[in-house]
Amino acid sequence: MQLDKMVQFHKATGDVTRIRILALLKKGPLHGQEIANKLGLKPPTITHHIAKLKDTGMVYARREKNTIYFHLDEKKLEFMATAILRIGEENLVKNQEMQMTEEEKQKIIKNFVTKEGELKQIPSQLKKKLVILSYFVQHFEPGKVYEEKEVNAYIKTFHEDFATVRREWVMQHFMYRENNRYQLNPKEIWPIVIEK
Amino acid sequence: MQLDKMVQFHKATGDVTRIRILALLKKGPLHGQEIANKLGLKPPTITHHIAKLKDTGMVYARREKNTIYFHLDEKKLEFMATAILRIGEENLVKNQEMQMTEEEKQKIIKNFVTKEGELKQIPSQLKKKLVILSYFVQHFEPGKVYEEKEVNAYIKTFHEDFATVRREWVMQHFMYRENNRYQLNPKEIWPIVIEK
DNA sequence: CATCTAATTAGACATATATTTAATTAGGTG
DNA sequence: CACCTAATTAAATATATGTCTAATTAGATG
């Protein structure tokens, strides 16, 4: 599970009112006003909270005539609630698949990076791609926040397709993205670490 | 698990930095400055986050010379993360144990409440106690927030030991308490409901 | 006891969030 | 199409929260 999705889930469940809503929906679907009555709150408040619950996917809406019923997706709730118990695991698995000698890593870099330090092309094979992503991402300083422009600018110094590289860094957990600003993830959660 | 403990747990895990700290601690204990370095944050920020994690019990500290190492209690983490999947269950169990006829309920009320509407004594048997607590709590309006004084004042109209009654309402999930202010929980999560 | 290091506290700042009232939208139904 | 109901949006307010710098505390060690 993606880091930001996980945070979003826990933010959603980190509120008394929303936990109460979940407790109610566990007994069966309800519509907004009914929830508002049972909790002693106004409808706009319920809209606000339901929106957050829906964003995570654990609650969904079904219309019936004029009334919208909200349902709890218990499978999704279970998956998300337990995701925190698996942090690091995906990476550990990958790390095992990713075991290779320093020699192999250096060979991959040699094959894809020119003498001038430019990336010839993005490898399609996952293993090789991760080596390359790890190699180039080390330019950034841990904890520093970068604007999207800055990230693009750096990528352009070694490869033209900046959008793909940027996206891959986020998808492969090398970087974390929040409102178009980027920062390095701690190496501990990278799928692979190349010492540059 | 108590409603407020559950909310506290999810608030604690609903933050990028704290999830990252958990991910790091899963690999083994670390001290503050090390965490700060790995995440690119200042020590006071780590203190702040660790405090919230410690409050939930999933992280604890052990001193070694001058350095304080923070450890992850994975058992506690698991218990708390899965608690949300069990909401309502405790109550359902209680409800089954608590099945009784209207006649029985009325008999209990008759035995413990005077003609003037005063509570003779708080029943010691759980079943009877819950009937009484449910009976008197219905005075409050759903969603309305009450100061502790107001709650006390109402209890005194029918019983002298206001502290015990107030505490029992919270302990038995009839009411929710936050910074000395009280409100009714939705009936759905009461262990038993008496129609007054 | 003086000094060093790690951790915490205090205070400031910016941002995010929960709730409300009032206004608006979206679908049904006569 | 006019009206009804349920839901949402907008705007306002109060509170909570994440992060930092600067100052302070707590222990360990020479």
N-to-C CA span, chain B: 28
pLDDT for position B166: 92
User: Does residue B63 approach strand D to less than 7 Å at its CB?
Assistant: yes
CA nearest to A84, candidates A19, A21, A6:
A6
Question: What is the per-residue pLDDT for A115?
Answer: 93
- The answer to whether B50 and B62 have CB atoms below 8 angstroms apart is no
Alpha-carbon span A179 to B119, nearest angstrom: 58
Cα-flanking dihedrals φ and ψ of residue A187, to 5°? -55, -30
Range 152-181, chain B: CB under 7 Å to any strand D atom: 179
Residues in chain A with CB shorter than 8 Å from the CB of B45 are: none
- Give the nearest nucleotide to B15, CA to C1': D18
Instruction: Give B53-110 pLDDT, tens digit per residue.
Output: 999 999 999 988 888 999 999 999 999 999 999 987 665 445 555 667 778 888 999 9
> Which of these ranges, B25-29, B67-71, B81-85, B179-183, has the smallest mean pLDDT?
B179-183
Q: Is the CB of B50 under 7 A from strand C?
A: yes
Q: How close B186 comes to chain A (CA, Å)? A: 6
Structure confidence at residue A92 (pLDDT): 44
Percent share of chain A, pLDDT over 70: 90
In this prediction, residue B189 carries a pLDDT of 67
Distance B44 CA to D21 C1' (A): 10
A32-47 pLDDT, tens digit per residue, is 998 998 888 899 999 9
Question: pLDDT, tens digit, for every residue of A81-137?
Answer: 999 999 876 654 455 556 677 788 899 999 999 999 999 999 988 788 989 999 999
Domains of chain B: residue spans and CATH: 3-84 (1.10.10.10), 88-189 (1.10.10)
Minimum Cα–Cα distance from A83: chain B residue: B81
Say whether A27 and B188 touch across the interface (CB within 8 A). Answer: yes
Supply the mean pLDDT for chain B.
Answer: 87
Interface of A with B in 173-192 (CB under 8 A): 176, 178, 183-189
* A46 Cβ contact list (under 8 Å, min separation 6): A21, A32, A33, A35, A36, A39
Residue A28 near chain B (CB below 8 Å): no
Residues 71-110 of B with CB under 7 A from strand C: none
Euclidean distance between CA atoms A170 and A186, whole angstroms? 13
Half-sphere exposure of B124 (CA within 13 A, CB side): 0
Cβ pair A87:B19 closer than 8 A: yes
Mean pLDDT taken over chain A: 87
Could you say which of A19, A40, A176 has the minimum Cβ distance to residue B7? A19
Q: How far is the CA of A148 from the C1' of D22 (A)?
A: 33
* pTM > 0.75: no
Least CB-CB distance to A77: which of B3, B13, B85? Answer: B85
Check CB contact of B7 with chain A, cutoff 8 Å.
Answer: yes
**Count of CB atoms situated within 10 Å of the CB of A120:** 11
* Residue pLDDT, tens place only, A56-78: 999 999 888 888 999 999 999 99
- A window 52-91, beta carbon within 8 A of B: 74, 77-78, 81-82, 84-85, 87-88
C-alpha span between A126 and A93 (Å, rounded): 14
Torsional class of A65: left (φ above 0), alpha (ψ -120 to 50), beta (otherwise): left
Q: Are B62 and B68 in contact (CB under 8 A)?
A: yes
**Closest Cα partner for B138 from B117, B114, B124?**
B117
Q: In what order do the strands lie in the sheet with B175-178?
A: B146-147, B181-184, B175-178
**Is A87's CB within 8 Å of B13's CB?**
no
Give A166 CA → D15 C1' in Å: 37
